[in-house]
Each structure stands twice: as C-alpha cells, then as structure tokens.
Amino acid sequence: MGATVYVDADACPVTRIVERIARQYDIPVVLLCDTNHVISSEYSTVKTVGAGADAVDIALINLCDKGDIVVTQDYGVAAMALGKGAYAIHQSGKRFTDDNIDGLLMDRHLAKVARRKKAHLKGPKKRTDEDDRRFEESFRRLIESLANS
C-alpha cells in the first residue's frame, strides 16, 4: 500500500485501535505528541515535538504526504492534510473530505465566535464503546479501500 498513518496522538482515544488495524495490514504508524504527553508503543514510531500551541499539528502536516492517512480531531489539520492529498479521519470515524471540510471549518469558526461572545456551548459527549466501534469500522473501510485501489 505504501501509506503511513499519522496520529495526532495528544489525548487521542483511538490510538490502540489504529495500531491494531494497521498492524493487521502491515502499515506503519507514527504517533505525534508534544512534550507534555508521554506515549509509548510497541508497534508505532513515537515522535515527540516541542510544546507549543500548534507544534504537533505543524509536525504532522510536514510529515504526511499524498496517500497517507491522518487521524485527528482538528478540522484545520484535516483540511491541510486533504490539501496535501492525504486522507483524514476523525476519532469519531467521520471521514474528512473535500466535500465536507468547508462546512466543518465554518462550524468551528461560528463556535469560536459564540465562545467569544460568552455563549455557553456544551462540551463533547463522553466517549462510548459505540464510538470506538464506529471508528474501527470506518478506519478499517478506509484501509481496505486504499489496499484495493
């Protein structure tokens, strides 16, 4: 297949799922984290980058290339990955695509504007086993579609 999976691994709840599936398909995985997190892995390469607001994001985008897979919850990172010809998937299992990224970025912008106006927005829901299953199914479908192309 030739692709690498890059994971924005700071507080990523699906890292072990990514590793398990990638191992089944013999796909290398790179976990990126900042110096505030300690991550270890028997399978993946772990890259620790400086602690800065966007240090992991910048390093991930600099490393990924066309055909790679990026696992991130950050819409901006996903947009840049798509711009490089990589595939991007959210930890919920939602695929980021050229068709949906503009709307997602607009939603993010509107939420930021609302927060500045002190509007109360609910935080993310607690992660469930169903969320993990949904991610696993979506990630596996992505891997299989790339393996078959």
111-125 pLDDT per residue, tens: 666 667 776 666 667
Closest CA relative to residue 30, chosen from 46, 18, 9: 46
The stretch 56-74 carries a mean pLDDT of: 95
Number of alpha carbons in the 13 Å side-chain half-sphere of residue 6 = 26
For residue 64, what are the domain limits? 5-147
Closest CA relative to residue 146, chosen from 27, 61, 52: 27
pLDDT at residue 113, rounded to an integer: 63
The stretch 57-74 carries a mean pLDDT of: 95
The stretch 12-19 carries a mean pLDDT of: 96
pLDDT at residue 108, rounded to an integer: 58
The stretch 45-61 carries a mean pLDDT of: 90
Confidence of residue 109 (pLDDT cuts 50, 70, 90): low
Residues 6+ apart with CB under 8 A from 132: 13, 14, 17
Closest CA relative to residue 132, chosen from 23, 40, 22, 15: 15
The stretch 81-108 carries a mean pLDDT of: 84
Residue 106's domain is classified under what CATH number? 3.40.50
User: How far is CA 34 from each of CA 58, 59, 73, 103, 121, rounded to the nearest angstrom?
Assistant: 11, 10, 16, 29, 27
Q: What's the structural domain count of the chain?
A: 1
